[in-house]
Amino acid sequence: MIYKWYLEGNGVKKIRNLLEKEGRKTATGKDTWDVSAVSRVLSNPMYIGYQNQQQSVSENYLTQKRVQQDKKDYILIKGTHEPIITQEVFDKVQLTKEQRLTWDVNEKRTGRRESKDIWTKKLLCICGSKYKSYHWRADTFGYSCYNQTINGKKSSREKKGLPAENACDLPSICDWKLEMMMWKVVQRTWTTGPEDIERAFQIIKECYQGEKDDTLEQIKDLRERLAKWERKKDNLIEMRADGEITKEDFIEKRDQYIKEIEAITRRLDEVESRERHPEDLDSKMDKIKEQLNRMIDFSTGIIDHDVLDEILTRIVHIGDYEYDVYLNLGVEPGNVALRLLEEEKVIKVKQFNVKGFEILRERHLKLFDMEITFDEAEAYRKMLGKYLRRSQWNDMKVHVYL
């Protein structure tokens, strides 16, 4: 029951409340539950038929003081009792727990609730941090860099003489601007986008045959180089057998040859795999067309968030009023054929289950650039029955990638 509730999206506090509400007793017969007890249940291999051994060891033979060991040093053994949770469910819970953990500013592990807000899920600051929501005005939400909320702005930290390496100064953004930006991005992608993408694929197809010929030539060259190094290794073994070189020289040369052979073999496997499974450009084009043919209502000025959740990978805030928008139209970035027109994007991401940041190097196909001016924003607000002062607006630059 506890595992089921957890996988349904409930946190340990919610599960504790549910257990107490239903009158469930703890193992010691208590009516009240601690959140730590719920957390231990979710991590205890006892429920899948195993036991942890050597959770603590004696510090030394004189004091016999028990010292708690790190969890990675536990020894897991098969128990004699019947499991009540399947291994699959247990593993899924462990993965979910890890994904719900983050490091706070004091480098301590803490839980995090999975957001249902489309913008907190998709927004990413150039500093690598996610965004958190707050009440901008009565009927409007704002979104600010979580790094700024916790650690302060870069300019503020610099004035105080504090380290500002991973800090940023990017301004917050309100929800209606995000709604307008994605409304315009999706509208343009679904109208002029198909022709732009079709032209891009035609260019790729024209270049693709040349790329295929280059691949075959590359395979031939790699096989010749591999055969050459294999012969050198065989000759080296014969030289050692005849006593022409010392054991030390043999080992040094042999390790060098093996390293070269392994590197060429890996490269050859990669290129041959690409040749065995060539990119099906027509299939990829069909996937994109299938997405673009979906019925989307543009009359309301707001794209349904379930649709956005599916087609929007992320929005990266890269400048004061500048954004990179990454769409998912059924083709993954980095496909060999698409690299002819792709550009590399470096994206910094704060990972929720590890310390520090991860640097992502991804290849994306740029669809178009757009700028949203005051006149466009004012017209959008009027369509929604709102108004906009010029003093409240700064033109937005948007770069859209596939």
Tell me 100's DSSP state: T
Check residue 323 and give its pLDDT: 95
Which own/partner contact pairs does 222-231 have at CB distance under 8 Å and 24+ positions apart?
Answer: 222/264, 222/267, 222/268, 222/271, 223/268, 225/264, 226/261, 226/264, 226/265, 226/268, 229/257, 229/260, 229/261, 229/264, 230/261
183-221 burial: b if 16+ Cβ within 10 Å, else e: bbbbebbbeebeeebeebbeebeeebeebeeebeebbee
Say if CB 352 and CB 341 are below 8 A apart. Answer: no
In this prediction, residue 12 carries a pLDDT of: 84
**Residue 81 DSSP label:** S
What's the length of the chain? Answer: 402
Answer whether 89's CB lies under 8 Å from 7's CB. yes
Q: What is the model's pLDDT at position 335?
A: 45
- Could you tell me whether strands 123-125 and 312-319 are parallel, antiparallel, or unpaired per DSSP bridges? parallel
Mean pLDDT lowest among 73-82, 135-144, 370-379: 73-82
Q: What confidence score (pLDDT) does residue 103 get? A: 46
Q: Among residues 236, 302, 288, 233, which one has the least CA distance to residue 261?
A: 233
- The overall average pLDDT reported for the chain is 79
CA angle (120, 123, 125) in 5-degree steps = 120
When pLDDT is averaged across residues 145-164 and rounded to a whole number, the result is: 84
Using DSSP, state whether 342 is helix, strand or coil: coil
Is residue 391 within 8 Å of residue 374, measured between CB atoms?
no
pLDDT surpasses 60 at 138 = yes
Whether the pLDDT of residue 139 is over 70: the answer is yes
Nearest residue to 397 (alpha-carbon basis) of 146, 177, 190:
177
Distance, CA of 67 to CA of 392 (rounded, Å): 61
DSSP bridge partners of 111: 101
Strand-pairing partners, residue 279, are none
Return d(Cα 361, Cα 340) in angstroms, integer.
17
Q: How confident is the model at residue 104 (pLDDT cuts 50, 70, 90)?
A: very low
Lowest-confidence range among 132-146, 185-199, 343-357?
A: 343-357
Task: Encode pLDDT of 221-274 as tens digits.
Answer: 888 888 998 888 888 888 888 888 888 888 888 888 888 888 888 888 877 776
Residue 360 has pLDDT above 80, yes or no: no
| Residues 144, 172 contacting (CB under 8 angstroms) | yes
Confidence label for 85 from pLDDT (cuts 50, 70 and 90): confident
Q: Is a pLDDT exceeding 50 seen at residue 26?
A: yes
- Single-letter residue type at 237: I
pLDDT grade for 41, boundaries at 50, 70 and 90: confident
Summarize the confidence of residues 129-149 as an average pLDDT.
87
Confidence band, pLDDT 50/70/90 cuts, at residue 183: very high
Rounded CA separation 402/395 (Å): 23
Task: Determine the Cα–Cα distance for residues 34 and 36; give it in Å rounded to an integer.
Answer: 5
Reply yes or no on whether the pLDDT at 111 is more than 80. Answer: no
- pLDDT attached to residue 123: 93
Band of residue 159 on the pLDDT scale cut at 50, 70, 90: confident
3-state secondary structure of 190: helix
Is 185:372 a contact under the CB 8 Å cutoff?
no
Residue 51 — pLDDT band, cuts 50, 70, 90? Answer: confident
Mean per-residue pLDDT for 287-313?
77
